[in-house]
Structure 1
């Protein structure tokens, strides 16, 4: 029961952080990025203190598995990423033919090279696929036989984590939660298959950065 309480408390704290604390703090986006990364690191430290991650393996952070995770993640994203770049190139060519100047690249670079890798991918993979997944696997013994109870608990937390961002962006909260829950299940499955959070991190980054690039190019053509 103590482990269930710990996992539930950690999940509740994560949701409260992104739903209540961060929105009320109204930090500049750069500060928010660093704060999210710090929250992910803190979660890993809590999981280690709770007895997880001997040699970092249980947390998906063992250096020996990083190469396999990188290879698996790259195989998944290479074709979609090439497609995304192709679409972006076509949109850029269309704008050039029309003689329209594009928006400045600085914000896009800051978003794809700093905020997404640090404040989104690093923070969320450490928090969810590493720390919380380990806590839920330990809290729900049935998870050791298929691990679906733990995966669903972690995915539900991942979905709830995105409530505030959905509201801020004006997106459907229900749809956002459902999609991110499914994404959480996929990311956790990748971690389990490769024993490394590197695999979901690669996929996570490619999805978010590719989406940011396409949105940037579409806006430039309007």
Structure 2
């Protein structure tokens, strides 16, 4: 019981208190997140199973659906206006570095190792059915400080990321690998980061 409580609480303490208090630049936050994820996975005996064929299969299929959705949004003028209104969220670095390093490593790799690679299996082993909901809520609460720093609605952010967590957890369960949710997670975040620039480019071509 104590192990589960600690496993649930440590990510929230790290994301919402410890990491913000360190006041690191973006590159430092990426390194720190990966180091925390590695330590967390080691302490709680996580097994992300990154090289799973099933994980790649489920993840590629899920990511393809998301990327197709972004393509449709860019092709439809009324939908293309939405990413054009999105503010740039990575002023500390180039878009290329943001998408090539910080999203896949500092966000996706770290979060999937913590939540789907370690916490979800630990909860599933000990409490069964409710594990997916509990892990998803913990994932949602992990985003409190990031939402605050970005001036986003905290309740809406928690709701959206909790729902995403439920989907990610189900992908991990079906594939027995954190690779599947990681690929979907990467498609969502990287696609969202690229969408504003892509929308501007498409608009320029059509003028």
Q: Please report the TM-score for the alignment, with normalisation by the length of structure 1.
A: 0.77
Q: Distance in 1 between matches of 2:123 and 2:38?
A: 17
Partner of 1:100: none
Task: Identify if the C-alpha distance between structure 1 residues 78 and 62 changes in structure 2 by more than 3 Å, giving closer, same or farther.
Answer: closer
Shift of 1:85: 4.6
Task: Identify if the C-alpha distance between structure 1 residues 216 and 168 changes in structure 2 by more than 3 Å, giving closer, same or farther.
Answer: farther
Task: Identify if the C-alpha distance between structure 1 residues 170 and 138 changes in structure 2 by more than 3 Å, giving closer, same or farther.
Answer: same
Q: Distance in 1 between matches of 2:35 and 2:159?
A: 26
Q: Which residue among 119, 123, 126 is the counterpart of 1:132?
A: 119
Q: Could you tell me whether the CA contact under 8 Å between 1:191 and 1:200 is conserved in 2?
A: yes
Q: Which residue among 182, 191, 195 is the counterpart of 1:201?
A: 182
Partner of 1:158: 139
Q: Which residue among 101, 118, 124 is the counterpart of 2:105?
A: 118
Q: Which residue among 11, 20, 24 is the counterpart of 2:21?
A: 24
Q: Distance in 1 between matches of 2:200 and 2:141?
A: 29
Alignment length (residue pairs):
189
Task: Give the gaps of 5 or more residues in structure 1.
Answer: 54-58, 95-105
Q: Distance in 2 between matches of 1:167 and 1:5?
A: 30
1:80 and 2:66 matched: yes
Q: Which residue among 146, 169, 176 is the counterpart of 2:157?
A: 176
Q: RMSD of aligned C-alpha atoms? A: 2.4
Q: Distance in 1 between matches of 2:12 and 2:171?
A: 23
Q: Distance in 2 between matches of 1:206 and 1:151?
A: 22
Partner of 2:36: 39
Q: Please report the TM-score for the alignment, with normalisation by the length of structure 2.
A: 0.82
